[in-house]
């Protein structure tokens, strides 16, 4: 023991800081698998900065002539409350314009935040684009079912 009566634990260097998770850039893609149906796929981090672009992408889907809009959020890695507000706005636009809005999630990040904010029951959900089309009696064109037609 050192003279001070304290044990010498040695000099250990502090642990290096854990680097933050890399931000996954938001990506948006839309396509029409059939007349009257629009799909908007979102991927990456929908943080407060990306929420504005996300909201704009959704607004254009409701301006166009679509009876059904599917928002595919299955590849979203982060969902901010600003993005949830954009989803609620999209729901409202759908109700006002008589457009059916369906969320395709299957994603714990999205589902958990919607549940925590107690807004999950505000939305209609679908398991797939094909299921949404069947429920709306829209016939998908097999050769066009997954072909993107526009990019945002």
Q: Which residue has the higher pLDDT, 6 or 34?
A: 34
Instruction: Determine the Cα–Cα distance for residues 20 and 62; give it in Å rounded to an integer.
Output: 36
pLDDT for residue 25 is more than 80: yes
Q: In what order do the strands lie in the sheet with 150-151?
A: 124-125, 100-104, 68-79, 37-46, 27-34, 150-151
pLDDT for residue 12 is more than 60: no
The pLDDT score that the predictor gives to residue 67 is 87
Residue 61 confidence class, pLDDT cut points 50, 70, 90: confident
The pLDDT score that the predictor gives to residue 19 is 53
pLDDT for residue 35 is more than 60: yes
Span 40-49, pLDDT tens digits: 999 999 999 9
Instruction: Kindly give the interhelix angle for 48-63 and 81-96, rounded to the nearest 10 degrees.
Output: 10
Class in CATH terms, 27-138:
alpha beta
Full-model pTM? 0.74
Span 66-120, pLDDT tens digits: 889 999 999 999 999 999 999 999 999 989 888 899 999 988 999 999 999 999 9
| Average pLDDT of the chain, as a whole number | 82
């Amino acid at each position: 023991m050192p003279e001070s009566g304290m044990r010498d634990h040695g000099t250990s260097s502090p642990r290096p800081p854990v680097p933050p998770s890399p931000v996954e850039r938001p990506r948006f893609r839309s396509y029409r698998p059939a007349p009257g149906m629009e799909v908007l796929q979102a991927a990456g981090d929908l943080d407060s900065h990306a929420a504005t672009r996300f909201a704009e992408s959704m607004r254009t889907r409701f301006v166009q002539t679509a009876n059904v809009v599917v928002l595919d959020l299955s590849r979203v890695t982060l969902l901010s409350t600003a993005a949830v507000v954009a989803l609620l706005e999209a729901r409202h636009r759908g109700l006002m314009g008589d457009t059916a809005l369906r969320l395709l999630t299957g994603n714990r990040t999205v589902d958990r935040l919607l549940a925590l904010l107690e807004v999950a029951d505000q939305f209609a959900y679908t398991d797939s684009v094909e299921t949404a089309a069947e429920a709306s009696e829209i016939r998908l064109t097999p050769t066009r079912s997954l072909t993107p037609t526009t990019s945002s």
